[in-house]
Amino acid sequence: MKYLVLIPDGMADRPCEKLNGHTPMEIASKPVMDALAAKSLCGTVLNVPTTMVPESDTANLAIMSYDPKKYSKGRSPLEAVSLGITLGERDTAIRCNLVTISDGDEPYEDKIMIDHSADEITTAEADELVAALNAALPMEGRHLYTGVSYRHCLIWENASHTYEFSRPHDIIGKRIGEYLPTAEGGEAFLEFMKKGYEVLKDHPVNVRRRAEGKRPANSPWLWSPGQNPSLPSFTEKWGVSASVVSAVDLIKGIGICAGMEVINVPGATGNYSTNYTGKADAAIDAFRRGREFVYIHVEAPDECGHRGEYDVKHLAIEKIDSLILAPVLEYLKSCGDDFKIMVLPDHPTPLDIRTHSPEPVPFFIYDPTDEKVGVSTFTEKSCSSCDTYISDGSTLLGYMIKNQA
């Protein structure tokens, strides 16, 4: 048996005025998803417990069958694992975005959050800025590591791993002063961010970006701290050999901690311009090499949601359908083995609010040996009308692998 799980991150949305009252899933041309959903077990699932923040770490842990209430220790430790960083017992990993804040002469606290991703800065440019921060802000027991694009990892010995930070994608367009780490215990974090702004604002990389009409990555922004993560083996839990295909360190880190093979795809960027075909090819190759379970994660719809790209998000869904799901389905049909396919977003990333929201997401599980009466189109609304609602996302995989439905 072969199992494919496809996660179009943040694909679910809310009806948008700019889309004539529709969602991107509703206007996207996705014939493969729709055809499979018509013959599948369909419904909705709540991946993030109501007591937790709707983030990709908690949601994807749940989809992989790890209860986030038990196993979630912040996203940055998982990203650190993906980057090959070994965390000591006293180390805290903290996500460090390179963001764009307003560039005037106003005090740091009065600046406005413009872009959580600094126009999706390239990794090469970001690496120069990370090096500048490490050189200008040295401290024993602290080091900033380059990740992908705007996503980086600060390792800080003896720093708090429970401090409550604000997520930069939640405060776009807002004055940052109300969201800075100013509570007791946040002084050192705030100092790093403010001094980091002074280091970055006139850095040659940002001078060049402004000249090219791009937003500068002019401030570090810290959030989501945590300590060393640990997960039970996925293979031992489910009895299948497994691979993960993703561009982002968070998902790779979950895969590594779970003992899964992590496949790096050249040109996989984590945004709309990712290498969709390369991800499909990597999944097919994994199946051909004997992997029984492949988890494909595609960040593109989520980034479109965060950037408020009303004209692009549905196109990302279309590319996932035609360039990833279609060829992998064709392979599975031709390989001679039984197979099942599950497709769902991890959480919604509505265009109107440009951040994650907590409501349940649509899913389908397709088994060609046990076809069901599903929905005519795979959308939030159609799946919410189905009888199946799963309140604990960490149990969803059992409906696919163990036939628990």
Domains of the chain: 2-72+231-401 (3.40.720.10), 91-226 (no CATH)
Alpha-carbon distance of 367 to 36, in angstroms, equals: 9
Quote the tokens at residue 184: 């007791």
Helix (H, G, I), strand (E, B) or coil at 283: helix
Alpha-carbon distance of 339 to 2, in angstroms, equals: 4
Predicted pLDDT at 403:
59
Residue from 132, 118, 137 nearest 195 by CA:
137
Beta bridge partners, 152, equal 96
Give pTM, 2 decimals: 0.86
Predicted pLDDT at 402:
82
DSSP string of 214-245, one letter each residue = -----EEEEEEEE-------HHHHHSS-EEEE
- Give the H or E element holding residue 65: none
Range list of β-strands (E), 214-332 = 219-226, 242-245, 261-263, 293-298
Beta bridge partners, 361, equal 45
| Average pLDDT over every residue of 339-357 | 97
What is the residue whose two structure tokens read 């050999």? 241
Quick: pLDDT tens for 224-238. Answer: 999 988 899 999 999
The CA-based diameter of the chain, rounded to the nearest angstrom, is: 66
Quick: pLDDT tens for 47-84. Answer: 999 999 899 999 999 999 999 999 988 889 999 999 99
Kindly report the average pLDDT of the chain as a whole number: 96
- Give the H or E element holding residue 49: none
Q: How large is the C-alpha radius of gyration of the chain?
A: 21
Does the pLDDT value for residue 339 go beyond 60? yes
Quick: pLDDT tens for 167-191. Answer: 999 999 999 999 999 999 999 999 9
Alpha-carbon distance of 100 to 276, in angstroms, equals: 28
Quick: pLDDT tens for 109-168. Answer: 999 999 999 999 999 999 999 999 999 999 999 999 999 999 999 999 999 999 999 999
What count of other Cβ atoms lies within 10 Å of the Cβ of residue 264? Answer: 12
Q: Burial letters for 355-367: b for 16+ Cβ neighbours within 10 Å, e otherwise?
A: bbbeebbbbbbbb
| Contact of 242 with 217, CB cutoff 8 Å | no
* Cα–Cα distance list, 184 to 21, 251, 349 (Å): 44, 32, 31
Looking at beta carbons, which pairs linking 332-339 to residues 24 or more positions away fall under 8 Å? 332/2, 332/4, 332/287, 333/368, 335/2, 335/287, 335/288, 337/1, 337/2, 338/1, 338/2, 338/368, 338/369, 339/1, 339/2, 339/3, 339/4, 339/368
Predicted pLDDT at 163:
94
Does the pLDDT value for residue 324 go beyond 60? yes
Predicted pLDDT at 405:
45
Residue 392: alpha-carbon gap to chain centroid:
19
Quick: pLDDT tens for 384-397. Answer: 999 999 999 999 99
Beta bridge partners, 41, equal 365
Alpha-carbon distance of 314 to 24, in angstroms, equals: 5
Please give the backbone phi and psi of residue 326, each rounded to the nearest 5 degrees, phi first. -60, -55
Alpha-carbon distance of 221 to 38, in angstroms, equals: 44
